[in-house]
Amino acid sequence: MPRFPKFGSDVPYAEPSWYRGNPTPYYQEKHVKWRKKVRDFVEKEMRPFASKWDESKSFPLQELRRKAYNAGILSPCYPEHLGGTPPEGGWDEWMNVIWQDELARCGSGGVLIVLIGITVMSLPHTLKFGSDFLKRTVAEPVIRGDEGMCITLTEPEGGSDLANISTTAVKTPCGRYYIVNGTKKFITGGMTNRYFSTLVRTGGPGHSGVSLMMIDKTWPGTTTKKLETQGWWAGNTALVSFEDVKVPVEYLIGDEGMGFPYLVDVMNGERLVAIIGVIRGCRSCIQIAIEFARKRKTFGKRLIDHQVIRHKIFHMAKYAETLQDSLEALTYQMSEGAGAMKIGGPVALLKVQSTQALEFCVREASQILGGASYLRQGKGRELERAAREVRVAAVGGGSEEILIDLASRFAKL
């Protein structure tokens, strides 16, 4: 079983087990090279500027897209003939874990979600079910970093109840267009990205009446309004309104009435992105807490020398380590061909468990840092930001209640 030289931080539990030189049945030399490549990019192009970008609630998106694409970081998981840039050795599920984990170190969830995360969540439907026309017209410019895309599902009234969306797409008598009317809310990247992969009602009530289609922000009748959010300040979250938007039928993704099955088919990928990032968030809490506690002195000794502080740290570590094991077990199953219906329940449960763990880790790390964790500057600024962003981690991609219920339905009790 291979093992590789230690990599990254030497703070206990700040890195995954295989980074620490332990043997691994999953990772190979090609993964080691990819890990270094992504970390180098994040350290040079993202982490030094993340706090500034987040505080200003904006960042040079197009410039960063171009840098990331040229470095092979923006689009490593997409088809080469559409502009994808697979890493040396080819793309696989383990490359994805490393990609998302290393990117999550950037220091700003808002920057990361707009740069890469939202594309991972919105583009797969087009790549898997869309026409060649959509792949060339929409997917390729997005993959090459020339344009951006959002996933546009949630509505003001319904939240996660996607089966009952009210945004309508009515075909014109000539059969060449859909007329779209409705409103979508909480659309990450909506202020900056051009394309909206949108869930609309083309038929009757329920799941069978919804479809996916691509809507261009520049088309008449499409408007966006920025929403002020608790976290992800650089995420450009928007309210998107469609008023008699004329959408050519060529922009329908796949078939009418198949929107919900298409979403289910790729939703595990979206949740996996969240899980990987959240586990890295737990590890960042551990690292910040240990580094602070090693230097801070109280009552005549280092903070880390107080037993109660050490216990807080290792309660955080137990979550990070066990979550990582579960993530890698699910990743292995996916690499061996486990389908959406087979692993949908476990992925849903792991997403719930990981975000609950992140809430715990943010709180415990904040307790260790004390007042420093309340400041948007200095040693605690990254932790303060994490405290504001933990809510979107828990709700985005399906709230705990929705996912627990989903897992129970997959189980067919």
Share of the chain above pLDDT 90, in %: 86
**Bridging pattern class, strands 168-171 and 301-302:** unpaired
pLDDT of residue 89: 96
Cα distance between residue 269 and residue 93, in whole Å: 10
pLDDT band for 310, please (50, 70, 90 cuts): very high
What is the rounded average pLDDT of the residues 181-207? 94
What rounded mean pLDDT belongs to the chain?
95
> For 186, phi and psi rounded to 5 degrees?
65, 40
* Residue 161 predicted with pLDDT over 90: no
pLDDT tens per residue, range 281-297 = 999 999 999 999 999 99
pLDDT band for 340, please (50, 70, 90 cuts): confident
Predicted TM-score (pTM) of the model is 0.94
What is the rounded average pLDDT of the residues 93-120? 96
Share of the chain above pLDDT 70, in %: 100
Q: Is the dihedral of CA 9, 10, 16, 19 positive or negative?
A: positive
* Residue 158 predicted with pLDDT over 80: no
What is the rounded average pLDDT of the residues 52-70? 95
What is the rounded average pLDDT of the residues 345-360? 96
DSSP character at residue 114: I
Cα distance between residue 397 and residue 392, in whole Å: 9
* Residue 160 predicted with pLDDT over 80: no
What is the rounded average pLDDT of the residues 18-43? 98
Q: Smallest Cα–Cα separation from 123: which of 212, 10, 53?
A: 212
List Cα–Cα distances, 270 to 20, 122, 281, in angstroms: 28, 9, 17
Residue with tokens 């180098």: 40
What is the rounded average pLDDT of the residues 301-328? 97
pLDDT of residue 338: 87
Residue 165, Cβ neighbours under 10 Å: how many?
A: 22
Token couple for 56: 């200003």
